[in-house]
Amino acid sequence: MIIIPAIDIIDGKCVRLTQGDYSQKKIYNENPLEVAREFEDAGLTRLHLVDLDGAKAGAVKNWKVLETIAAKTSMVIDFGGGIKKEEDVKIVFNSGAALATIGSIAVKNETEFVKWLLQFGANKFLLGADVKDEKIAVAGWLETTDVWIYDFIEKYINHGVQQLFCTDVSKDGKLEGPSIELYKNIISKFPQLHFIASGGVSSMKDLDELESIGCAAAIVGKAIYENRITLTELKKFI
């Protein structure tokens, strides 16, 4: 199982939110490059970079941070937050991301997203699904749709999407453990999917469990920043 550390960006700084709430913001480092280099030095090869300003504004904002990390590390970066137009997709790839992370637009504007899959290649996108009670949530989790997670995944696998991460909204940023049952169901229904667990990871035990149920990768954020999991401990997955 691959460990993908997360860096969330507000005003160019490395922060974490609790359950997507911008008022519950904690700054961990003024310099995201420093954080990315620590991850790289520990042997981690992937990075999940989230532009929270972009997510709020509906357009990519912190592409300079992406550009810097891509230029000064060799990490494979997926970048998301505010990708709403083709122009945003181009900015993300031109700034050095290996993958563009797509969330709400895949729910709200399927036609546009499918166009990008054809134009840039489906292997260039990481699909993110925020889920509440097995239904997709959008708009910073404020809005739960009636789209069933399994229908959503099946549709985009048919369009060529290979990688997907799923966050249980009720778990994220709370260090209460991941949604094991939900993930087991997804993996059993879609064994061909490169499935990435996200949200709620609080300990090495959680990661061992995610590996045992067949997750291809796990995104880890707050647990690293709060020293629940050390970079040294993560070496067992490298």
Tell me how far apart the alpha carbons of residues 164 and 122 are, in angstroms, rounded to a whole number.
Answer: 12
Q: Is the dihedral of CA 134, 138, 141, 144 positive or negative?
A: negative
Count of Cβ atoms closer than 10 Å to residue 119 Cβ:
11
CA 143 from chain centre, in angstroms, equals 19
Q: Quick check: is 78 catalytic? A: no
CA distances from 220 to 5, 65, 177 (A): 5, 19, 11
8 is catalytic: yes
The H or E element containing residue 10 is strand 2-10
**Which residue in 53, 130, 172, 206 is the catalytic one?**
130
Active site residues: 8, 130
